[in-house]
Amino acid sequence: MDRNHLKRQVDFMKRSFLDQGYLDEQFIQLEELQDDDNPNFVEEIVTLFFNDSARLLQNIEQALVSGPIDFPSLDNYMHQFKGSSSSIGAKRVKNECTRFKEYCTAGNAEGCLRTFVQVKQEHAILKTKLETYFQLAKQAGPSGTSGGQIR
């Protein structure tokens, strides 16, 4: 497939992620940091995010199902998870984290459990979408995901 066409597809995909609220401006900022010296920066960061966050989600799940809920621990895990989510521009994930935090602060176990399902769902959806995005970007070749092209 024509490389320009692929690049247009990459840009279109990114625009749709932004329009549908999966990602926000922070993701564009990450792409601005990518250059010839660090051509895979965004994919590396996103990979690190999904590796780290899988562990955090597991810790949260564990804390939710074992015995009386330790809300301070939950708060701690969610703090880290939200921090990294917002730092990569994972907008929907970040919003679910905020909802979870509200229930956690209120000591509402049922609310935490319910919201956590949404957190995991948005996390999984984003992972799939970004995997597809980076695969397409690789096919598009160098600068397939360079920033500054889409706002």
Partner 1 sequence: MGAAVDHVTPMGMSGGSAEGNDKSEGQRFSCKSKLTALVVDNGGVCRAIQTALLRSYGVETEAVETGEAAVELIASGATFSLIIIEMLLPFMNGPGTAKQIRAMGAQSKILGITAFFDRRDRQEFLAAGADDFIEKPLSPEIVIPIIRELDN
- Give residues in contact with partner 1 (CB under 8 A): 26, 29-30, 32-33, 35-38, 41, 45, 48-49, 52, 76, 79-80, 82-84, 86-89, 97-98, 101, 147-148
CB nearer to partner 1: pick between 100 and 133:
100
Question: Which tokens is 80 given?
Answer: 């880290």
CB nearer to partner 1: pick between 45 and 139:
45
Q: How far is the CB of 79 from partner 1 (least distance, A)?
A: 5
CA distance 73 to 20: 32
| Cα-based distances in Å from 93 to 25, 84, 111, 141, 142 | 14, 10, 16, 29, 29
Q: How far is the CB of 44 from partner 1 (least distance, A)?
A: 8
Torsion of CA 83, 92, 145, 51, to 10 degrees: 50
CB nearer to partner 1: pick between 139 and 143:
143
Q: How far is CA 13 from the centre of its chain?
A: 15
CB nearer to partner 1: pick between 26 and 139:
26
**Contact 146/40 with Cβ under 8 angstroms?**
no
Q: How far is the CB of 125 from partner 1 (least distance, A)?
A: 19
φ and ψ at residue 21, rounded to 5 degrees? 80, 10
Q: How far is the CB of 101 from partner 1 (least distance, A)?
A: 6
**Contact 103/26 with Cβ under 8 angstroms?**
no
Q: How far is the CB of 1 from partner 1 (least distance, A)?
A: 26
CB nearer to partner 1: pick between 15 and 99:
99
